[in-house]
Structure 1
């Protein structure tokens, strides 16, 4: 199976295999793809904010999970049923409304498990607002 190697191919994969993402997160797009690395962007709107005008924790969690999952697919190809088995997230500072950038990468890739990390930044000032690590189960393919 060929890895997914371009932002356009990654966005097309998401549109085809995970259309619910647009309904739940909206505005999430892949900006750059490397071998084991993905950079994504989310333009937050009012639906992503919690009381107090900051981006919600569930929104940050979703960016972390999807970005790390896609980083794995740059290595193994479009294995859509690769699933999260564990995700730990640290919220470091209040994210500002506006665009957020997720930079995810594969730390270790085995036959059945992958370990990843992602940093989520405010696009406006480059400040890291959250950092997450995760483990994913890779089905036989």
Structure 2
């Protein structure tokens, strides 16, 4: 399972551009991180919400993929984000979870934390739906 996620993760050009790292993979759960760089900031100096959304969406999607049969991929159908605090820290960590996996819809959640030293502060929560797709459609 981890090899499948790592293989897919390595083919995502946008994640490579961001410098995202895969931290952990377990059935229905995936964590990843990105170092907050100055070019990821918004006008107030905090990390841009687009980075938080991307990390949460990807963590949730890969959490869903861990529960799919080989040869089945997933895509985001919809995703909502609640921005709770500014993204201030050294890195962002997203933890994705499957809440319910059905045949046609997989309901997911992701929590995004700003890490500063050993401390993690919850900055965003995402709730979304993934759909299984054939690899040629993904």
TM-score bucket (shorter structure)? 0.7 to 0.9
CA change 1:95–1:20 in 2 (3 A) is closer
TM-superposition CA deviations, 1:103-131 (whole Å, max 9, x none): 11000111111000011011222110000
Cα distance in 2 for partners of 1:128, 1:79 equals: 34
Tell me which of 3, 10, 23 is aligned to 2:5: 10
- Return 5+ residue gaps in structure 1 as ranges: none
Tell me which of 56, 75, 79 is aligned to 2:48: 56
TM-superposition CA deviations, 1:67-117 (whole Å, max 9, x none): 100101111156575211111100001111421111110001111110000
Alignment of 1:62-141 (within 5 A): 62-77=54-69, 81-124=73-116, 125-139=119-133
Cα distance in 2 for partners of 1:80, 1:90 equals: 29
Q: TM-score, normalised by structure 2?
A: 0.87
Q: Is the CA contact 1:100–1:122 (under 8 Å) kept in the aligned structure 2?
A: yes
- Return 5+ residue gaps in structure 2 as ranges: none
User: Which aligned segments of 4 or more residues in structure 1 are displaced greater than 6 angstroms?
Assistant: none
CA change 1:58–1:138 in 2 (3 A) is same
Cα distance in 2 for partners of 1:12, 1:81 equals: 12
Cross-structure match for 2:38: 46
CA change 1:79–1:60 in 2 (3 A) is farther
Q: TM-score, normalised by structure 1?
A: 0.85
